[in-house]
Structure 1
Amino acid sequence: MKTGIFGGAFDPIHKGHIYMAQKAMEEYSLDRILLVPSGHSPNKTENAMTAFSHRYNMCKLASEAVPGIEVSDIEIKDESTSYTYVTLQKLKALYPEDELYFIMGGDSLDYFESWMKPDIIAQTAIILVMVRENFPKQQMEEKIAHIKNLFPADIRLLKCDRMDVSSTQVRRLLRAKSQADGYRSPKGAEMCLDAAVMSYIQANNLYR
């Protein structure tokens, strides 16, 4: 089985995330995508993030109607820092027969060699890099060649149309809305979120 691994804070998960997962499945004929909400991220202040349970539940709601997309809670099952190389090793142990594909953004590729144990990441999974309009393809290919000179890696490009949405923007819209009208007006953030996710946010008073 070909399994894509798509990690992130997903705070909250939005339609752009689901679109990127579907593009990866389509372009590389993946059998499934595992959404992996970050547990104890080394790159974010955990106290500033929405509780894992809420982010996990929102991922479940956003993906339940999308064939082939599943959600994993693997990064919250222990107290250690959730380094990508550790998560991938755990997933490989869980699914030893699967061919793993790790999905990452083009901006992350720019400093990939400074991640914790990037060589182990490359040993464990094929790396799919989402190419955006603001990252010239030639520049990406040069960066890939540089990484391959450092350690063996199978890095492939994943073309993804630009979507002007981010979790930061969605949170900002939701906070502005909650202050103005208590979420009642169907504008802004709702266009970026699955309806079930928006209902969950309202029911749990998130992002106020």
Structure 2
Amino acid sequence: MSVGIFGGAFDPPHAGHVELARRGIEHFALDRLLVRVVEHPGHKPVATAPETRLRLARLAFASLPGAEIELDPFARTVDSLEALALIDPVFLVGADEFAALPTWKEPDRVLDLARLGVATRPGIDDRRVEAVLTTLARPERVSFFPIEPLPVSSSEIRARAAAGEPIDAFVPPEVAREISRLGLYRPVETGGAGGMLGRDG
């Protein structure tokens, strides 16, 4: 059985996340995809509680075949992979995250524990990707697959929600409805969710 892993803060999960996961499932013929919502990311602050981000992720990825969405208590990828102890899984990342691989905790150990499936899109600097490959002990453990460019980020969605602007074009409909229902990402003075401080890739 082929297993993939896709982790992140998902604050909130958006259309780009879903497209990356969908294409990863198709490209690597994955039977299961473990979507891991990182409870306390080590590399970025988060605006919402882990349980809320888990709820949003379950709504976002519900339509993907074989997707299993759970919280990840580990802030670092290598620690999460060690705990999962899967047989040669594919860890899905975007090309931007891959470019930061040398800053991850024990990147060569990550490649011992999992293959990397790197999503590429037009506009990514190939020189940055090639430079990372030259630093790895096992570059053959890295595979690339194309995705359609979707110019969207979680930070932009949070900013739009905070300004009261529509976000329907950037997140799955169920996610947009839940963000509106919960009043997420609105300024604190208007009764929105309180901040909560937050992983390498």
TM-score normalised to the size of structure 1? 0.81
Following TM superposition, the consecutive aligned residue runs of length 4 or more in structure 1 with deviations greater than 4 angstroms are 136-139
C-alpha contact (below 8 Å) 1:62/1:197 kept by paired residues: yes
Aligned to 1:11: 11
Residue 111, structure 1, aligned to residue 100, structure 2? yes
1:86 to 79, 82, 91: 79
Aligned to 1:200: 178
Which is higher, the Rg of structure 1 or of structure 2? 1
Higher relative contact order (CA 8 A, sep 6+): 2
- 1:71-82 pair list within 5 angstroms: 71-75=69-73, 82=75
Aligned to 1:124: 113
Q: Runs of 5+ in structure 2 lacking a partner? A: 187-201
Tell me by how many angstroms 1:134 deviates: 1.8
Aligned to 1:140: 129
1:162 to 149, 162, 171: 149
Aligned to 2:62: 64
Tell me by how many angstroms 1:120 deviates: 1.3
Aligned residue pairs, count: 185
Tell me by how many angstroms 1:142 deviates: 4.8
C-alpha contact (below 8 Å) 1:131/1:137 kept by paired residues: no
User: Where is the helix percentage greater, Structure 1 or Structure 2?
Assistant: 1
Name which of structure 1's ranges 55-64 and 128-137 shifts more when overlaid on structure 2. 128-137
- Amino-acid identity (%): 28
Q: Runs of 5+ in structure 1 lacking a partner? A: 76-80, 179-187
Tell me by how many angstroms 1:137 deviates: 4.2
Deviation track 1:30-79 (CA, whole Å, cap 9, x = no partner) reads 1121111111211013xx4211011000111112222222202132xxxx
CA separation of 1:126 and 1:156: change in aligned 2, threshold 3 A: same
Deviation track 1:106-164 (CA, whole Å, cap 9, x = no partner) reads 122223122111111110000111112122446534532x133xx22401112112101
Give, as a single letter, the amino acid of the residue that structure 2 aligns with 1:108: E
